[in-house]
Each structure stands twice: as structure tokens, then as C-alpha cells.
Amino acid sequence: MSNSSMTCLIIEDEQSLGEGLVFNFQAEGYQTVWIQDGLEAIKYIETNHSHMCAIILDIMLPNLDGFEILKQTRFLAERIPILVLSAKGLEGDKIKALELGADDYMTKPFSLTELILRIRGLIKKQAWYQKQLDTPTSASGEKTAFGNSFFQCRTLILETDNNNSIRLSPTEGLLIKTFLEKPNEILSRSDLLEWVWNCTSPIETRTVDVFISKLRKHIEPNPAKPQFLISIRGSGYVYVTDDQLRKQLLNS
């Protein structure tokens, strides 16, 4: 898919920043639409979401804030990649945005190069998911055990042990896929940021922690005392399938 085949929606009320983002993303080959008002943005998303490759979303907007836009967008279109770009840098704001369905979060001031790389990474994840749908070998809908749940890569459905079906985002699906491919290995936050979010910034590691917390709610018998996605202090996370290793880590 070429950059110009679908629209990157920029929702930003600051004039100079919006103009700069449009200029730079168009220079990268992206078709862009820039909207400065929250209500106008959600109206646009309602009728055009099937033609979007990504959304860059500010939080503080006129008439409708970014948190509400996130809620409504995830109801309308569950899998459009959304990156929040905001001056609100408090941890609580980041956690709220990620839990409402944002795929990534960057704070202002920011690196333009990194922003473009992250958007590119989100779009690649969406293309990866689409490939799962289009690949004949995936059509059987094979399920893979992940903790106390079963993950179906093709549909990004996680079936929990209490018979709930959770529809995941491509970011969550790729995070699970990464752990499934490297069971019983310690994966650092920086590795996960690079592999899943296409990001090398050391200041955004809370993103990883929030997504791990979300997965634990679905796959752990007791998310407060994880048995499968275990934290290794100062090192990262390990997805444990080996009982001996689990016992060793939990008793250490």
C-alpha cells in the first residue's frame, strides 16, 4: 500500500503545528486531512473512517476533546491506528488515552522524525493484520494458547477462559505475537518498543507497561499476581510457558 492511497487525519488546533504536520507528512507521500475542531473531526471520521491509514490526535481541542474522540472512534472503527500527540504529559493522561484505545502516545515538544517513524510503524502493523485476513493459510482460524486464553491471529480475537471474546487492536495482536515467538525469553521494554511500536525513545516505556497491564486482565487468573506475563525488575517482561521457570521466577 502506498502512502498516498489512504488518508492520514491530523486533528490539531494549533495553526502553526497543524500546518507543519501537513507539510511534512505530504512530503513523505501521505495524503492528509487537517481538522482543528473536535466535533468536526468526529463528523469526518463517521463518514470517512474506511479511507484512513492513521490518525494523529491532540487532546485539548475545541468543542470535543481528544479523549471523547478516542471513545467514539473506537466505537466506529476499532482498528484505525491512532497516535495521541499532546502537551498533556502526565502519566494519568497517557494511561487514560491508551486504555481508551490509542495505539501510541507522544508528548509535545516532540521529534518530527520519530513521529513519522511511529506513524509508519502503526501503518505497517495495520498492513500486517490485513495480511492475516488475506492469507489463505490463516483462513482456518487456528487458535494459539496465550496464558489462560486463546489467541486467533487472523481475526485478532482473544477468547478468555470465561468465554468472552475480546477484539484486539493490531498493536495488541503484534505484542502477543512477539511474546508467542519468544516464550521464556526476557524481552526488554526497549526491545518491545522497537519491535512493536517502531520506537527507540527511552522516555515512552510506560506505553509498554500499560499494554502489558491490559493483556494481563485477559490472560491471568489474578492480574495482580501474574503467572504468565511476569515482570523482571530492571530487565523487562517474560512470557512464561515453562512451569519450572515460572516457579523459579515467582520464588525469586
CATH of the domain at 205: 1.10.10.10
Q: How many domains does the chain have?
A: 2
Q: Give residue 139's pLDDT.
A: 44
Q: Give residue 140's pLDDT.
A: 46
Handedness of CA 139, 80, 193, 94 (dihedral sign): negative
Distance CA 133, CA 55 (A): 22
176 lies in the same domain as 111: no
pTM (two decimals): 0.76
CB 149 within 8 A of CB 140: no
- Among residues 66, 99, 132, the one where a domain terminates is 132
Amino acid present at 76: L
124 lies in the same domain as 204: no
144 lies in the same domain as 120: no
Task: pLDDT tens for the chain, 252 residues: list them.
Answer: 445 568 999 999 999 999 999 999 999 999 999 999 999 999 999 999 989 999 999 999 999 999 999 999 988 887 789 999 999 888 888 889 988 889 889 989 988 998 998 898 888 877 766 665 555 544 445 789 999 999 988 788 899 888 888 888 878 888 998 999 999 999 999 889 888 877 766 556 678 888 899 899 999 999 999 999 999 988 999 999 999 999 999 887
11 lies in the same domain as 99: yes
167 lies in the same domain as 244: yes
126 lies in the same domain as 150: no
Q: Give residue 149's pLDDT.
A: 93
- Among residues 104, 132, 160, the one where a domain terminates is 132
181 lies in the same domain as 194: yes
Q: Find the CATH number of the domain harbouring 118.
A: 3.40.50.2300
Q: What 3-state DSSP class applies to 32?
A: strand
80 lies in the same domain as 9: yes
113 lies in the same domain as 156: no
SS3 content of the chain, % helix, strand, coil (to 5): 50, 20, 35
CB 176 within 8 A of CB 146: yes
146 lies in the same domain as 110: no
Alpha-carbon distance values, 175 to 153, 194, 244 (Å):
11, 11, 24
Beta strands in the chain (DSSP E): 7-11, 31-35, 52-57, 82-86, 104-107, 144-146, 149-152, 157-159, 165-167, 186-187, 229-232, 236-239
106 lies in the same domain as 160: no
Domain range enclosing 10: 3-132
83 lies in the same domain as 148: no
- Among residues 117, 132, 147, the one where a domain terminates is 132
